[in-house]
Structure 1
Amino acid sequence: MVGLLKTWRDLRRKGVMGINQRNADYILKYNQRQFFPLVDNKVLTKERARARGIHVPQAYAVVRTEREIAKIFEIIDAHDDFVIKPAHGAAGEGIVVISDRFDDLYRTVSGRLLSRNDLSHHLSNILTGMYSLGGAPDQALIEYRVKSDPIFERISYSGVPDIRIIVLLGYPVMAMVRLPTQQSQGKANLHQGAIGVGIDLAKGCTLQGSWMNRRITHHPDTRNMVDGVAVKHWDALLHQAASCYEMCHLGYIGVDMVLDKEHGPMMLEVNARPGLNIQIANNAGLAARCLQVEEQIRMLKKQGAEENVQDRVRFSQSLMD
């Protein structure tokens, strides 16, 4: 017991945030329940993002009823590749990524071939709520398939890496890139075996990372070192992530971004309950940085001033200098 207490005190001293602190001091304090439905619905999130000039993948169609499934192939057959997502899905469940065609079949990124009946069945499962939060009836979003920027090829296995940025009251406070592995089957999902690699907020360069909750320096599949990669369009990524504060009115969020090789930075989704593994990836504590942001906001209020998106990003980057 004494050892556990000492460990807890050491973590608190280093500014590491625990789940209870995250829930009480940040999610409950800054995230009003009335705004949760916006970020829990990918269709609504992206509609609102487009309206605010935040770049998101192009939506090809939204399937809302069983009757619409039969007609949807008139739309998706105009595209060689696309992604199917549950509007209310979580942890990557229910997402199907089609990379190309073979005759009248659809090939997934893992090489599996699906028929029209297979896709119809999957769409029907989405509508019934098989992958939604709480099992409630859902909608299916069909959208542009992101093509990963080549900068991550050396340190990623298949799939599309994504960038998670934690934003507090419009200030980016921590970031990491999630790299697919063979174990994660090409998905950028930490719980399925992807790697989390920290990113220096000021420089936009990758740091060392974590895999299965342990520190690592090399990707287990490519064997290449994961640090030292300069992330392209870094300032634009931070700017778009910070802009999500005004878009969703939630004070503590995780913004998931991607770098498309043709279209640059794109926002995939916003999470109102972001996890804490990003601290392991950065070897740094979230609480310490959040306290600095909160102090900055208190100081600005005393002065009767406020900062715009560009100012907020600049301040966040100054914390790393």
Structure 2
Amino acid sequence: MWLWERYTSPFKLGSLGIMGMNQRNVNYIGRYNPRSLYPLVDNKLKTKHIAVAAGVTVPKLIGTITQQHEVGKIAEMVKDWPGFCIKPARGSGGKGILVIVRQEDGQYFKPNGSPSSAADLERHISNILAGLFSLGGKPDFVMVEDLIHFDNVFDGYSFEGVPDTRVIIFKGFPVMSMMRLSTAASDGKANLHQGAVGVGICLRTGRAVRAVQYNEPIRYHPDTNKDLFELEVPHWLKLLNLAASCYEMSGLGYIGTDMVLDKKRGPMLLELNARPGLSIQIANAAGLLPRLRQIEKLGNVKMSVDERVAYAMEHFGVFPARD
């Protein structure tokens, strides 16, 4: 039995270094994330622009739709793209993301096989423009991106969706990581509050530490029966370096980096989050506070991306390094 299941009172959780929302908001987000930089991460298009400028790999942008009178151009925009993703630029929590894996005879098919018409796509885009999925319900605009073709190594670990890796970066150091795996309950989206599976990942090895769904420990994927404890992320060092480099790219001290592994392009940045959630602690059965405070004790030491990643792997790993 994990310590997390044995000690559940607020006092015991605090003794394990579990960070609460108020601590996160005041001591880390408020202190290390200048509000003037929030638009760089709250707006996914701006994130993509600064990532490209910094040489960080991101999904290809097919096009944007910013005005209602442009909605009808979606069919022409995607006619040469078998699969694509429509998303709000200022969306949160995975809301408003529409994934199309193929198109045939004027129909657009979702990962679960259900078809949509061009009119359905236009209606969805109109809802995005109206701010239905945006932060604060403000008017938004639409990004259309190339579909990510996830690496075959993850076959069976995710159901009808692309698995992603969340890495919390503090002052440029990776401090905790998990994979988010979609399920039937989450409708193919990798959001834990919608029913996706969270798998804690060892920072030293990229291997699974623990798995949860709805904050309860599990071992097997609920739809594919894949043994989640066998999961191991390939290209782990490259992925961590890419995530850590987002510190210089964004200027934010406490961020969540969402990474994906494309079979052709390798690790790439999906998006940044200036207010990353706390469920990553549940997935890892470990608290963030001891790791964050250890980094704070280093002061303003100057270290390269490679050096910061090496430090994190040495000090925050769970499993021994492999030869």
TM over 0.5: yes
In the alignment, what sits opposite 2:174? 172
Match of 1:308 in 2: 304
Moved more, 271-280 or 217-226: 217-226
TM-score by length of 2: 0.93
Partner letter of residue 100 of structure 1?
A: R
Listed as ranges, the gaps of 5+ residues in structure 2 are 1-6
Tell me, which stretches of 5 or more residues in structure 1 are unaligned? none
Shift of 1:6: 9.2
Equivalent in 57, 60, 68 of residue 58 of structure 1:
60
Q: Is the CA contact (8 Å cut-off) linking 2:112 and 2:160 kept in structure 1?
A: no
User: Could you list the runs of 4 or more consecutive aligned residues of structure 1 that deviate by over 6 angstroms after TM superposition?
Assistant: none
Q: What are the equivalent positions in structure 2 for 1:68-217 lying under 5 Å apart? A: 68-217=70-219
Percent identical:
47
Q: Distance in 2 between matches of 1:50 and 1:152?
A: 26
TM-score (norm: length of structure 1): 0.93
- Equivalent position SS for 1:71: helix
Q: Is the 8 A contact 1:49 1:247 kept in 2?
A: yes
**Is 1:317 matched up with 2:313?**
yes
Question: Residues 167 and 105 (structure 1 numbering): CA distance in 2 closer, same or farther, change over 3 Å?
Answer: same
Preserved CA contact (<8 Å) 2:102 2:108:
yes
* Equivalent residues, number: 311
1:154 Cα deviation from its structure 2 partner: 3.1
The range that moved more, 214-223 or 79-88, is: 214-223
Whole-Å Cα distance in 1 between the matches of residues 99 and 220 of structure 2? 27
SS of aligned partner of 1:172: strand
Q: Provide Cα deviations, 1:12-65, integer angstroms capped at 9, x if missing partner.
A: 221111111111110111011111111000111011101101110000001111
Secondary structure at 2:28 match in 1:
helix
What does the per-residue CA deviation read over 1:235-254, in whole Å, with 9 as the maximum and x for residues that have no partner?
Answer: 11111111111111111111
Q: Spell out, residue by residue over 1:90-145, the C-alpha distance to the aligned partner (whole angstroms, 9 max, x if none).
A: 11111111111120111111222122221112111111111111111111000011
2:46, 2:33 → 1: CA distance? Answer: 17
- Rounded to whole Å, the distance in 2 between the matches of 1:118 and 1:222 is 30
The Cα offsets for residues 207-261 of structure 1, whole Å up to 9 and x where unpaired, read as 2211111122222222232113221111111111111111111111111111111
3-state SS of paired residue (2:73): coil
Q: In angstroms, what is the RMSD of aligned CA positions?
A: 1.5
